Amino acid sequence: MTKMMYIEALRAALREEMRKDKNVFIMGEDVTRYGFGINRGLVDEFGSDRVRNTPISEAAIIGSAVGAALRGMRPIVEIMFVDFIMIGMDQIVNQAAKMSYLSNGELSVPMVIRAPEGTEWFGAGAQHSQTLHSIFMNIPGLKLVIPSDPYDAKGLLKSAIRDDNPVIFFEHKQLYTQKGEVPEEEYIIPLGKAAVKREGKDLTLVATSWMVKHSLEVAEDLKSKISIEVIDPRTLVPLDKDTIINSVKKTGRLLVVDESPVNGGVQGEIISVAMKEAFWNMESPPKRIGSLNTPIPFSSSLEKEVIPTKEKIKREIMSMFSE
């Protein structure tokens, strides 16, 4: 085991997969020398053909990755901020997600779109802070990966690159500098397997991405009063329903925390999935926490009102035990 940052784990996955398969290549805006630094140094090893800087043209970046994937390449697209993915939305929704279905499975689009999302540590405002993964859960044909620590990030990115379907890989910007243990030997984590990040018996807390860290801290803070089980689905599509359902059956309580706005968000979907099987095991109604249904404001005094915080999670948990 070595300790490394989330971005280093991502970089290690990219490097290993690029060494392994010559069809894997990276493209995006300023992927060689700028941005959050995930690709740092890769251009020196693999050259500018395989670590390819593009014009600022998200539709063409995503669209051309679809085309290259149709021809047997395995492109990894970096979208600088997930907010910019909307410019290439048609290419994801109407092209990438439909190719397999419309061709009777003859054509495949083995591509990964890496997209940093969520609020930053210093505020980035309405068009650079969004959490958009919920939108994509409504598009059949896509797989959605959302790792919360360096270990998962590396193992899941490797699986995503090897997957034969279009995968969107969501990385919370605040996770980038987080450190964690990563094995030195090669490993992969299959898509569709949730992780029980902490075992407990009174409450199931399903959390994604940056919210996993908050949730684990809350569980620790409250451990003398409440035993909390923290589950990270790790992939939203495919969703590991069984792990969530079994936990809820055991604890009888469910809280889902995700940074998406709650209206139509993944929180409601996860609750719905769990209630179909575990409704009669419930001790109290399931709850959800997400961002308020407002754009993300710049001023930190406003921003912290909008996004889920440790305090909000604690408050919600306490309310579930006082009812």
Partner 1 sequence: MQKIIFGRSFNFWEEKEKEIFEKSGVHIDKYPSFVAKMSSGLLKSLKKKLIKARRKRINMTVNKEQKIRMYRTMTRIRELENKLEQIYRDGKLNGHLHTSHGEEAIAVGVMEALSEKDIIFSNHRGHGHYLARGTSPKNIMAECYGKVTGTNQGRSGSMYLVDSERGMPVASGIVGGNICVATGSALASLIKQDNIVTLSIFGDGATNIGFFHEALNMAALWNLPIVYICENNQYGEATKREQHQKVKNISDRAIAYAMSGLTIDGTDVIKVYESVKQAVEKARRGGGPTLVECVAYRLRGHSAGDLAVYRPKGEEEEWMKIHDPIKKYKKQLLEQGVLNSQEVEKIEKKIQKEIKEAVRFAVESEAPLAETVGKYVYQED
Contact between 126 and 296 under an 8 Å Cβ cutoff? The reply is yes
Q: Which residue has the tokens 């800087």?
A: 53
3-state SS string over 141-198?
CCEEECCCCHHHHHHHHHHHHHCCCCEEEEEEHHHCCCEEEECCCCCCCCCCCCEEEE
CB count within 10 Å of CB 179 equals 13
Q: Which stretch binds partner 1 (CB under 8 A): 28-36, 92-100, 124-132, 313-321?
A: 92-100
Kindly state the number of chain residues that form the binding site for partner 1, as judged by CB under 8 A: 42
Contacts of 193 (CB under 8 A, 6+ apart): 234, 235, 240, 243
Q: Binding partner 1 by CB under 8 A: which of 70, 188, 196, 273?
A: 70
Q: Is 128 a catalytic residue?
A: yes
CA atoms of 96 and 44, how far apart (whole Å) = 30
User: What are the CA-CA distances from residue 301 to residues 54, 123, 182, 257, 297 (Å)?
Assistant: 37, 10, 36, 21, 9
Least Cβ distance, residue 187 to partner 1 (angstroms): 21
Task: Please tell me what DSSP assigns to residue 296.
Answer: P
| Pick 23 or 174: Cβ nearer partner 1 | 23
Least Cβ distance, residue 62 to partner 1 (angstroms): 7
| Integer Rg of the chain from CA | 19
According to the binding rule CB under 8 A, does residue 227 interact with partner 1? no
According to the binding rule CB under 8 A, does residue 159 interact with partner 1? no
According to the binding rule CB under 8 A, does residue 194 interact with partner 1? no
| Pick 65 or 222: Cβ nearer partner 1 | 65
According to the binding rule CB under 8 A, does residue 192 interact with partner 1? no
Strands 254-261 and 235-237: unpaired
Least Cβ distance, residue 42 to partner 1 (angstroms): 16
| Pick 87 or 275: Cβ nearer partner 1 | 87
Q: Binding partner 1 by CB under 8 A: which of 71, 184, 185, 280?
A: 71
Residue ranges in contact with partner 1 by CB under 8 A: 25, 49-50, 54-55, 57, 59-60, 62-73, 75, 87, 90-91, 94-95, 98-108, 140-141, 143, 164-165
Which residues participate in catalysis according to the annotation? 128
